[in-house]
């Protein structure tokens, strides 16, 4: 019931089951080993599925974009910039930012009304992980977009509001339909 992926060794024709899901960067397997993962329907085209969070996400590894251009790209693939609405998703994004040494645009902004933070799908942001020690959010009218800013001195990266025309990596999220058995 908890099996999420498997390794298949072609020489011995042996399967190894795992309850974890790995990204390509996490794996160091031999040439005779294949890695297979169960995915959600519709969670493909470069997107990864985190079964624990039931989250279908993608962090672009090659391009940096403004917040608006990143959101347009996410919409073109059927989603939005990532909504971080729980601690576990925030911890996952922190882990990926540190592992890849990048800052990541998230789907929040106060573009519509200064100080009223909404996700890209127009739902309200209920939990915040601001860098309060750094004075975030700064509340300036030209800093309206949410970024998980990489800080080499602190392993727990915090949210910052920044100018939307800055360029960063970005995380997209696809909507996940409820599972049917």
Whether 86 and 98 map to the same domain: the answer is: yes
Whether 27 and 58 map to the same domain: the answer is: no
| Per-residue pLDDT reduced to its tens digit, 37-54 | 655 556 767 788 887 888
Range of the domain at 149: 42-174
| Per-residue pLDDT reduced to its tens digit, 132-141 | 777 788 877 8
Whether 74 and 137 map to the same domain: the answer is: yes
pLDDT recorded at residue 138 = 80
Whether 13 and 67 map to the same domain: the answer is: no
| Phi/psi of residue 114, nearest 5 degrees | -55, 125
Whether 15 and 97 map to the same domain: the answer is: no
Residue 125 pLDDT > 60, yes or no? yes
How many Cα atoms sit within 13 Å of 42 on the Cβ side? 13
Whether 88 and 150 map to the same domain: the answer is: yes
Whether 15 and 103 map to the same domain: the answer is: no
Whether 30 and 15 map to the same domain: the answer is: yes
Tokens 């005779």 identify what position?
32
**Tally of structural domains, the chain:** 2
Whether 92 and 31 map to the same domain: the answer is: no
Whether 93 and 29 map to the same domain: the answer is: no
| Per-residue pLDDT reduced to its tens digit, 71-113 | 999 999 889 999 999 999 998 898 888 888 889 999 999 999 9
Q: For residue 55, give the nearest of 176, 172, 147 by alpha carbon.
A: 176
Pairing state of beta strands 118-119 and 158-162? unpaired
Whether 74 and 13 map to the same domain: the answer is: no
Average pLDDT over residues 20-37: 67
pLDDT recorded at residue 156 = 67
Spatial neighbors of 68 by CB under 8 A, at least 6 apart, are 164, 165
Whether 74 and 161 map to the same domain: the answer is: yes
Q: What is the CATH number of the domain that holds 60?
A: 3.10.100.10
d(CA 153, CA 150): 9
Residue 181 pLDDT > 50, yes or no? no
């Amino acid at each position: 019931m908890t099996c999420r992926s498997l390794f298949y060794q072609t020489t011995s024709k042996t399967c190894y089951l795992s309850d974890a899901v790995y990204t390509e960067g996490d794996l160091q397997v031999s040439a005779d080993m294949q890695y297979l993962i169960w995915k959600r329907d519709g969670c493909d085209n470069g997107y990864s599925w985190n079964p624990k969070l039931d989250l279908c996400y993608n962090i672009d590894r090659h391009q940096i974009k403004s917040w608006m251009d990143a959101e347009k790209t996410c919409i073109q693939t059927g989603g939005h910039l990532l909504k971080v609405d729980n601690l576990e998703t925030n911890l996952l994004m922190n882990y990926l930012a540190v592992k890849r040494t990048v800052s990541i645009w998230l789907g929040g902004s106060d573009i519509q009304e200064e100080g009223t933070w909404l996700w890209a799908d127009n739902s309200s942001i209920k939990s915040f992980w601001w860098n309060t020690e750094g004075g975030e959010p700064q509340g300036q009218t030209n800093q309206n977009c949410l970024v998980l800013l990489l800080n080499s001195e602190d392993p727990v990266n915090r949210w910052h509001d920044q100018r939307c025309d800055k360029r960063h990596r970005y995380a997209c999220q696809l909507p996940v339909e409820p599972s049917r058995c």
